[in-house]
Structure 1
Amino acid sequence: MKHWSPALKAFLGIFILFEVMGWFFVGSTERLDQLLLINGANNAFADILFQGLTAIAEVVLPVLFLIYLFRFRKEFALPYAYSYALSTGLIQFLKHFVFSGALRPLAYFAHAGIKWHLVPGLMISEYNSMPSGHTGAAFFMFFWVAVLLKRFHWGFIAGILAVGVAYSRVYLFQHFPVDTLVGAFLGTSSSYLFYYINDAKSSSK
């Protein structure tokens, strides 16, 4: 841990807390109750907030961050790119080959007779639920944000934003909580792998 900045320690602490609490929630609560609790706690402000948080993890911002690294912090550019490729590759492989039959909430509960809260105008997917790509992208990207910013409070904020993206995917009825837990693990572990390799190389020079 000697090369972990306070920000990275804060981020990883948030990640571990998210995983522990999330798996306890998933293991102790039925899927229907999970969605009723999260999707049911809705209002107009939350609709806007969680659409904004979800957008953070879409392609544009991670790519812009990669461009920034190549321009200003080249020592992290390739590890970031490799972790992006690994995380995305693993998630897409799992989505389309391992869990190809995993339905998203809208299709899974199609015959439940429940009037779910759906944000007007938002496209709701029905298939390839496991794991959550947005969540994986958020945790992968904010890991590197924490690496760059170093101070504890920035790592804490980065972790909270990543968790916010994960929560938004369930609130917006795009994923189950378990999908986000697996996505967060893949995103964070992919980033940590290449951070560790890069750090080991730097230390040996």
Structure 2
Amino acid sequence: MIWKAVKHCPLFFAVLVSILMIGLISCALTSKLTSFNFLNFYHRPFLDVFFSYYTFIGDGLMCLLTIIVLLFLKRKKLSLALLLAFLGSGLIVQILKKLLHEPRPSLYFDQIGFKYSYFVIGIQKMQSASFPSGHSASAFAMCIVIALYFKDKRVSILCLFLALFAGYSRIYLAHHFLPDVMAGALIGSVSGLLTYYFTWHPADIYTKVNIDFKGR
């Protein structure tokens, strides 16, 4: 099943896997404070404004709005797949948030006595439920579905970088750490992949499960 997806969009998945691997290795080798500082070394007023608005690309309301627009455009199956990917990734994210209770950057900095100078004016300082990033999960889940649906390398790479910047916006705005974003991206990617095949190729999933069951 995964191999079929790779054959559909080889460049997309090569870039996606590379990004995920680099991010996960960075999380393993550095502390969340170190990676946060490294990714926030450059702040400018125009970027503050840009990311303050851009971050909504991974917001639940934006996802639902996209789904509604596609319904009006009679892309019913694509709308269904995006809805399932959004709900599936969101459910996993919310369960993990409730179980782990990780502090957001602003609260974590208060706890360790770290002075951070780049909080964006007008952006609410959130306190809890940092891990994983829901915006990142939603953005990557929808990105995967759209990339596999259109099977066009230009569309897929564009979607991937839109999702990547959505994840980065959460760090830039001091709402999440790198591990939060990478976990969200991984959850969203898996959710999007499974949802796509559940919607368009359910027989592939059934065959795989059936073969595994018989093999036991």
TM-score (norm 1): 0.88
| Corresponding residue number in structure 2 for 1:123 | 124
Inter-CA distance 149–199: structure 2 relative to 1 (3 Å threshold): closer
Give the secondary-structure state (helix, strand or coil) at the position aligned to 1:19.
helix
CA contact (8 A) 2:143 2:192 kept: no
Question: What pairs with 1:152-163 in structure 2 (closer than 5 Å)?
Answer: 152-163=153-164
Inter-CA distance 3–19: structure 2 relative to 1 (3 Å threshold): closer
Deviates more, 1:180-189 or 1:136-145: 136-145
d(CA) in 2 for partners of 1:117 and 1:148? 39
| Corresponding residue number in structure 1 for 2:214 | none
| Corresponding residue number in structure 2 for 1:138 | 139
1:80-103 CA distance string (max 9 Å, x none): 22222111111011111x212x11
CA contact (8 A) 1:87 1:137 kept: yes
1:174 deviation in Å? Answer: 0.5
d(CA) in 2 for partners of 1:183 and 1:58? 13
Deviates more, 1:149-158 or 1:126-135: 149-158
| Corresponding residue number in structure 1 for 2:194 | 193
| Corresponding residue number in structure 2 for 1:76 | 78
**Any stretches of 5+ residues in structure 1 without a counterpart?**
none
- 1:103 maps to amino acid: P
**Any stretches of 5+ residues in structure 2 without a counterpart?**
207-216
1:28 deviation in Å? Answer: 1.7
1:3 deviation in Å? Answer: 6.0
d(CA) in 1 for partners of 2:53 and 2:130? 20
- 1:108 matched to 2:108? The reply is yes
d(CA) in 2 for partners of 1:157 and 1:116? 32
Inter-CA distance 192–150: structure 2 relative to 1 (3 Å threshold): same
CA contact (8 A) 1:15 1:159 kept: yes
Give the secondary-structure state (helix, strand or coil) at the position aligned to 2:138.
helix
Give the secondary-structure state (helix, strand or coil) at the position aligned to 1:64.
helix
Inter-CA distance 68–144: structure 2 relative to 1 (3 Å threshold): farther
| Corresponding residue number in structure 1 for 2:211 | none
d(CA) in 2 for partners of 1:113 and 1:183? 25
Query: What number of residue pairs does the alignment pair up?
Result: 201
CA contact (8 A) 2:27 2:178 kept: yes
TM-score (norm 2): 0.84
Percent identical across equivalent pairs?
A: 27
d(CA) in 2 for partners of 1:144 and 1:64? 16
1:79 deviation in Å? Answer: 2.6
1:22-54 CA distance string (max 9 Å, x none): 012112222222122222321112212222321
Inter-CA distance 69–99: structure 2 relative to 1 (3 Å threshold): same
